[in-house]
């Protein structure tokens, strides 16, 4: 008895078992991709050590040949059994002829195999039969797959043709032995070849290999050549289970990463796809490199911008990775480690820059096993002082010798080189060979953003940010006196730029923006004729035309601009000299000098201003005015713009500032001035003549909300002022903790201005806040006043503990607050009250047990609160859209993954007219349909479960805009349900029948983000919907055009979904007209 007869006899009993047909169906139908067997044959050939393989597709069969090891008896047993194969303990081989090979039975009933001394065919899935074929295999192994199963020959040919045509780079990328694939389809021939250009080992357990893959297709005029840097980590030990469920140790496993190369530079997968395939970017194949590979692509997105391979444990269909698997977790960790090691090696090879590191290595949006392992391993490398931070001079340095900056290139390419390396290293305590890392990068749309690598480094290290102010303030007279004229001219050329509006003979200059925080008047950059240097503040009676200043430098137009226009140095005049003497006399006499002399000198200054011999710029910053400390009565000299200087006249002062006198150093102009000067005199002198409302918080709030809400702008609503503040608040909160008596005084102020702590605002996509771009939202924001209050520890408990408002409860606070912290103030500040705590408790009770569990004496209070809340909601509802069309028109605004699976058809509408009438009845008041259990979804808005279920049933998780289906790691589909019109902007009468999902879209996360926050135009949306025809029995999708990100996009509606929207628009428009 031959080995084939023995195998057949052993398997006949299993085939005759009544359960065999069910098992056979499960195995054959196991693959989502029926032509997946092409990958299986490739893997089997690679396991056999083959270096080349060919696929020859005919109209009635497929012939596959490879030059690997011939079949042995173990292979015969494996290919005729239902199990994992002969290599269950070796992850580096996927298993010769296990369940995977059985996928060929989708297309054939009798695959024929010629290998070595064996020639046989397999019937009934597992029954071998020796045959005689007149074919000379020439030591090759040959598979002949005749198309004789249920699928027609044409269908089999088409399926396999598509699969073979889609074999490209990824087909050879992670195979160990095969270096050549030949594909022949009718008269078309394609070859795919892989060669190694360079390889070496690193870090004991890892390998580098630069590979080149060449694709020569007779259907194309060009030969495609692709290169990749491959990294491989060896020696990984795993624990898995064998066929009997027993733990087995699996040794010496490997994981791999491939980095695509374009024009000798590492690139991202996304850029590679766009570069290679242009307009065909979204087709099925071109998503393959986004996936995890297990020798070949799975259906699970990796969400990384490099290609990942590992011998993951997969589900039986081989296209999904098993979750909650210990071996897979270890492999994910090792991939992260390999990514960090790859960054190190590629840095040493000078193959990276800041943009590549950001785009390739830090592309992930959320933490996962790989990213956490990557960051942990990267930290180890940084701690070991590895040079893996790219600098502007194209060299890499360790973290202790990098200075980070977000400044323009002119600063670190022209300004910084003016200073000796050792000078900068002394300031930043680093080696003289320091480098600069520019952490501002451009995103896909050209907007600047902060480098993700920089943000990672900032989390774990006290990094050194380049600060021009520190460098400039570190200089002294001796530094500038050592520099020659050429150096000074270069220096001035760097810090002074010519305005773009300069024209002809008229040049406009300005100090560069990065010096806006530097007080140049205190930097000794003025060169005297003697070669000495002084700062403006130390310059006494200097003029442009007396020879006191260096005349050679003054011939330079930028230097003259700095001296004359910025520093205010003038040409000589007797009146100017007298006024300057008066200023000097006041400063030298100080606050303790003769008040009469002080007044005379101040009058000289006032006369010079009247006669326009000097300007306010000449006295700004000069301490020539006497101020009285309202707390201790001390007199001091300050300038005309002194903080909290305030103007005190015969009518007294404002009460809100007065209450701060008890504990703040408030300075007001000396009362004695009023015997000599008028109110208008002090206006001429540029003094602050009234209490100035500190409004700088408004800009802070707007910036804060822009960051939180993307493209939207915010301004006050009604009487609420987002920039509201009161005098003295900034000074008050300079204290880390207020004293108790100070806190009580502050509570008095809070009581007076409780309505200005927090309020509603208007959101808009346009800075002009035009009506069609604005939303009157429910969002409550804090004023500048409120922001200071909620972020400070200032409320005293009875035991003396000081708390922030959100951590405080009224009942626990000192009794001194009881007259000031009313319900309105507490609600705005977040201070807990007895009522608010009871409401929170009752809300939880209602969720779990119902109203009747609430005590009777508290139930009325709770119902009253609910009533007030409902009345407030109705009031807000008055500000909503008056019609559905108005809602859609409001959606226009200017804004600052998975496999694609095309559905050929949607659910049809058998009788559109009858369904239309039924929908009207449902909208008019009938109950929602019963819920059905369907596939899981994820939504980020308050959308009803009925809406979500409708979308799932209609689109099966497919995005209505880009057609993508996003798969989670467990294989479930992920989509977001997004409202067209925000539901809080719809009147109550428009919210009927939300379960019909007429106001909702099924979108992938990327399209959802673009739709919600990006620029879009929906002009004509309602007209398109109204004019769209729903054909009886049609299951084709219907396209509605919109514009997103400046490009035309299509929302694809199923017939049912679009009819729901059409009927809703018609119904509600009719209601509005009535």
The model's pLDDT over 282-300, given as tens digits with 9 standing for 90+, comes to 444 445 577 898 888 888 8
Indicate the angle between helix axes 574-589 and 595-610, nearest 10 degrees: 150
Question: Percentage of the chain with pLDDT > 70?
Answer: 74
Q: What is the predicted pLDDT for the residue at 859?
A: 52
Rounded distance between C-alpha atoms, residue 44 and residue 119, angstroms: 18
* Residue in 754, 637, 647 with CA at minimum distance from that of residue 692: 647
Rounded distance between C-alpha atoms, residue 553 and residue 262, angstroms: 50
Is pLDDT of 85 > 90? no
Name the token pair of 577: 């000299």
Is pLDDT of 49 > 90? yes
pLDDT class of 838 with cuts at 50, 70, 90: low
Mean pLDDT within 665-682? 77
Mean pLDDT within 423-452? 83
Measured at the CA of 185, the angle between CA 184 and CA 187, to 5 degrees, comes to 90
Is pLDDT of 528 > 90? yes
Residue with the larger pLDDT of the pair 633 and 867:
633
Classify residue 653 by burial, with Cβ atoms within 10 Å: 0-12, 13-18, 19+: middle
Q: What are the tens digits of pLDDT across the range 935-964?
A: 333 333 457 777 888 888 888 888 999 888
Q: Are 321 and 298 within 8 A, CB to CB?
A: yes
What's the pTM value of the predicted model, to 2 decimals? Answer: 0.57
pLDDT class of 884 with cuts at 50, 70, 90: low
Is pLDDT of 566 > 70? yes
Which segment of 278-287, 377-386, 711-720, 908-917 scores lowest on mean pLDDT?
278-287
Mean pLDDT within 377-389? 96
Rounded distance between C-alpha atoms, residue 274 and residue 609, angstroms: 67
pLDDT class of 534 with cuts at 50, 70, 90: very high
* Residue in 92, 104, 96, 87 with CA at minimum distance from that of residue 68: 96
Is pLDDT of 281 > 90? no
Mean pLDDT within 123-142? 88
Instruction: Enumerate domains of the chain plus CATH numbers.
Output: 1-165 (3.30.565.10), 190-386 (no CATH), 392-466 (no CATH), 472-572 (no CATH), 575-684 (no CATH), 718-832 (no CATH), 884-1073 (no CATH)
Is pLDDT of 735 > 80? no
pLDDT class of 890 with cuts at 50, 70, 90: low
Residue entry with tokens 């303030």: 473
Residue with the larger pLDDT of the pair 24 and 806:
806
pLDDT class of 648 with cuts at 50, 70, 90: very low
Q: What is the predicted pLDDT for the residue at 727?
A: 56
Is pLDDT of 34 > 50? yes
Rounded distance between C-alpha atoms, residue 967 and residue 692, angstroms: 58
Q: What is the predicted pLDDT for the residue at 48?
A: 93
Question: Within a 10 A sphere around the Cβ of 551, how many other Cβ atoms?
Answer: 11
Indicate the angle between helix axes 153-165 and 37-47, nearest 10 degrees: 60
Q: Are 350 and 394 within 8 A, CB to CB?
A: yes
Q: What is the predicted pLDDT for the residue at 844?
A: 52
Mean pLDDT within 836-847? 54
Is pLDDT of 850 > 60? no
DSSP state of 931: P
On the CB side of 843, CA atoms within 13 Å amount to 8
Question: Within a 10 A sphere around the Cβ of 404, how many other Cβ atoms?
Answer: 19
3-state secondary structure of 784: helix
Strand partners, 528: 549
Is pLDDT of 500 > 70? no
Is pLDDT of 457 > 60? yes
pLDDT class of 280 with cuts at 50, 70, 90: low
Which segment of 151-165, 850-864, 990-1004 scores lowest on mean pLDDT?
850-864
Rounded distance between C-alpha atoms, residue 778 and residue 830, angstroms: 17
Q: What is the predicted pLDDT for the residue at 278?
A: 61
Q: What is the predicted pLDDT for the residue at 32?
A: 62
Is pLDDT of 650 > 60? no
Q: What are the tens digits of pLDDT across the range 968-982?
A: 655 667 788 888 887
Phi and psi torsions of 541, nearest 5°: 50, 55
Q: What is the DSSP string of 430-489?
A: --TT-EEEE-EEE-TTS-EEE-HHHHHHHHHS--EE--HHHHHHH--HHHHHTS-HHHHH
Mean pLDDT within 870-883? 53
Kindly report the average pLDDT of the chain as a whole number. 79
pLDDT class of 908 with cuts at 50, 70, 90: low
Sign of CA dihedral 297, 302, 304, 310: negative
Is pLDDT of 928 > 60? no
Q: What is the predicted pLDDT for the residue at 747?
A: 86
Is pLDDT of 19 > 70? yes
Q: What is the predicted pLDDT for the residue at 954?
A: 86
Is pLDDT of 331 > 70? yes
Rounded distance between C-alpha atoms, residue 934 and residue 947, angstroms: 12
Q: What are the tens digits of pLDDT across the range 142-166?
A: 999 999 988 899 999 999 999 998 8
Phi and psi torsions of 416, nearest 5°: -60, -40
- Residue 876: C-alpha distances to residues 100, 140, 562, 983 (Å): 62, 79, 56, 12
Q: What is the predicted pLDDT for the residue at 754?
A: 77
Which segment of 316-325, 693-702, 886-895 scores lowest on mean pLDDT?
693-702
Q: What is the predicted pLDDT for the residue at 659?
A: 44
Sign of CA dihedral 810, 811, 812, 818: positive
Strands 774-782 and 795-796: unpaired
Q: What is the predicted pLDDT for the residue at 793?
A: 87
Mean pLDDT within 231-256? 85
Q: Where do the DSSP E strands lie in 263-330?
A: 265-266, 291-294, 296-301, 307-309
Rounded distance between C-alpha atoms, residue 157 and residue 146, angstroms: 11
Is pLDDT of 178 > 90? yes
Q: Which of 482-491, 788-797, 849-858 has the highest mean pLDDT?
A: 482-491
Rounded distance between C-alpha atoms, residue 993 and residue 1060, angstroms: 10
């Amino acid at each position: 008895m031959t080995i084939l007869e023995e195998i057949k006899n052993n398997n006949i009993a299993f085939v005759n078992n009544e359960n065999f047909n069910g098992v056979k169906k499960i195995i054959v139908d196991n693959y989502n991709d029926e032509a997946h067997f092409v990958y299986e044959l490739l893997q089997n050939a690679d396991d056999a050590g083959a270096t080349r393989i060919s696929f020859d597709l005919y109209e009635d069969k497929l012939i596959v040949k490879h030059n690997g090891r011939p079949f042995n008896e173990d292979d015969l047993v494996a290919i005729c059994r239902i199990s994992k194969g002969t290599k269950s303990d070796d992850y580096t081989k996927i298993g010769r002829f296990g369940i995977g090979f059985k996928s060929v039975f989708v297309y054939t009933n009798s695959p024929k195999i010629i290998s070595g001394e064996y020639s046989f065919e397999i019937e009934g899935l597992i029954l071998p039969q020796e045959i005689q074929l007149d074919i000379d295999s020439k030591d090759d192994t040959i598979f002949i797959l005749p198309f004789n199963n249920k699928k027609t020959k044409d269908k089999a040919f088409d399926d396999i043709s598509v699969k073979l045509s889609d074999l490209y780079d990824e087909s050879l990328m992670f195979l160990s032995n095969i270096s050549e694939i030949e594909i022949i389809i009718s008269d078309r021939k394609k070859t795919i070849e892989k060669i190694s250009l360079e390889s070496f080992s690193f870090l004991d357990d890892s390998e580098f290999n630069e590979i080149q893959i060449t694709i020569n297709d007779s259907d194309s005029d060009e030969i495609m050549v692709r290169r990749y840097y491959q990294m491989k980590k060896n020696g990984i030990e795993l624990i898995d289970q064998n066929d009997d469920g027993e733990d087995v140790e699996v040794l010496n496993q490997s994981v791999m990463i491939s980095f695509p190369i374009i024009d000798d530079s590492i690139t991202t997968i996304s850029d590679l796809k766009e570069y290679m395939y242009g307009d065909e970017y979204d087709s099925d194949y071109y998503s393959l490199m986004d996936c995890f590979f297990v020798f070949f692509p799975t259906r699970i997105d990796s969400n990384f911008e490099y290609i990942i391979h590992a011998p993951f444990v997969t589900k039986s269909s081989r296209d999904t990775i098993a979750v909650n698997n210990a071996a897979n977790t270890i492999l994910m960790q090792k991939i992260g480690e390999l990514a960090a090691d790859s960054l190190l090696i590629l840095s040493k090879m000078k193959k990276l820059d800041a943009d590549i590191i950001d785009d390739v290595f830090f592309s992930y949006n959320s933490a996962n096993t790989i990213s956490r392992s990557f960051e942990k391993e990267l930290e180890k490398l940084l701690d070991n002082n590895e040079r893996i931070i790219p600098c502007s001079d194209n060299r890499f340095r360790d973290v202790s010798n990098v200075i980070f900056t977000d400044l323009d290139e002119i600063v670190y390419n022209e300004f910084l080189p003016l200073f000796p390396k050792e000078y900068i290293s002394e300031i930043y305590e680093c080696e003289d060979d320091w480098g600069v890392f520019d952490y501002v990068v451009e995103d896909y749309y050209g907007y600047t953003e902060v480098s993700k690598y920089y943000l990672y480094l900032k989390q774990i290290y006290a990094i050194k940010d380049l600060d021009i102010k520190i460098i400039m303030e570190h200089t002294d007279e001796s530094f500038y006196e050592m520099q020659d004229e050429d150096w000074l001219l270069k220096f001035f050329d760097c810090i002074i730029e010519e305005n773009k509006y300069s024209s002809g003979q008229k040049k406009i200059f300005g100090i560069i923006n990065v010096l806006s925080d530097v007080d140049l008047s205190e930097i000794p950059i003025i060169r005297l004729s003697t070669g000495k240097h002084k700062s403006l503040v130390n310059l006494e009676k200097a003029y442009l035309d007396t020879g006191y200043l260096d005349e050679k430098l003054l011939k330079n137009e930028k230097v003259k601009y700095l001296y004359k226009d910025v520093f205010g140095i003038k040409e000589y005049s007797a009146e100017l000299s007298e006024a300057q003497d008066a200023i000097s006399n006041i400063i030298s006499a100080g606050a303790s000098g003769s008040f009469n002399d002080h007044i005379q000198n101040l009058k000289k200054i006032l006369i010079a201003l009247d006669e326009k011999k000097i300007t306010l710029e000449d006295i700004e910053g000069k301490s020539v005015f006497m101020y009285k400390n309202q707390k201790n009565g001390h007199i001091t000299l300050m300038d005309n713009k002194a903080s909290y200087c305030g103007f005190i006249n015969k009518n007294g002062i404002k009460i809100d500032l007065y209450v701060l006198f008890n504990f703040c150093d408030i300075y007001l102009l000396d009362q004695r001035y009023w015997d000599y000067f008028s109110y208008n005199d002090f206006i001429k002198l540029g003094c602050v003549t009234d209490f100035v409302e500190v409004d700088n918080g408004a800009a802070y709030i707007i910036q804060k909300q822009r960051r939180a809400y993307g493209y939207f702008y915010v301004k006050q609503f009604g009487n609420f002022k987002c920039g509201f503040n009161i005098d003295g608040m900034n000074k008050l909160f300079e204290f880390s903790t207020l004293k108790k008596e100070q806190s009580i005084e502050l509570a008095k102020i809070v009581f007076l201005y409780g309505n200005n702590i927090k309020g509603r605002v208007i959101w808009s996509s346009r800075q002009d806040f035009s009506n069609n771009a604005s939303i009157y939202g429910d969002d409550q924001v804090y004023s500048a006043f409120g922001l200071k209050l909620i972020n400070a520890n200032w409320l005293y408990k009875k035991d003396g503990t000081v708390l922030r408002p959100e951590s405080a409860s009224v009942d626990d606070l000192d009794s001194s607050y009881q007259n000031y912290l009313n319900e309105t103030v507490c609600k705005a500040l977040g201070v807990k009250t007895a009522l608010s705590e009871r409401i929170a408790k009752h809300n939880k009770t209602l969720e779990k047990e119902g109203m009747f569990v609430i005590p009777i004496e508290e139930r009325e209070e709770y119902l009253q609160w609910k009533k007030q809340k409902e009345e407030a909601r109705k009031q807000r509802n008055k500000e909503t859209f008056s019609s559905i069309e108005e809602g859609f028109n409001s959606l226009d605004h200017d804004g600052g993954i998975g496999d694609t699976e095309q559905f050929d058809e949607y659910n049809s509408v058998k009788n559109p007219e009858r369904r239309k009438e039924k929908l009207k009845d449902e909208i008019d008041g009938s109950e929602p349909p019963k819920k059905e259990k369907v596939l899981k979804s994820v939504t980020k808005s308050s959308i009803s479960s009925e809406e979500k279920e409708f979308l799932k049933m209609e689109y099966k998780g497919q995005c209505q805009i880009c057609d993508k289906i996003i798969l989670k790691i467990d294989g479930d589909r992920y989509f977001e349900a997004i409202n067209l019109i925000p539901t809080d902007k719809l009147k109550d009468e428009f919210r009927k029948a939300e379960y019909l999902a007429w106001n909702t879209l099924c979108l992938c996360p990327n399209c959802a983000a673009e739709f919600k926050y990006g620029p879009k135009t929906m002009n004509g949306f309602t007209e398109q919907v109204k004019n769209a025809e729903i054909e009886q029995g049609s299951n084709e999708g219907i396209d509605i055009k919109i514009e997103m990100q400046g490009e035309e996009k299509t929302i694809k509606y199923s017939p049912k979904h679009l009819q729901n929207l059409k009927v809703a628009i018609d119904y509600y428009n009719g209601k509005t007209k009535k």
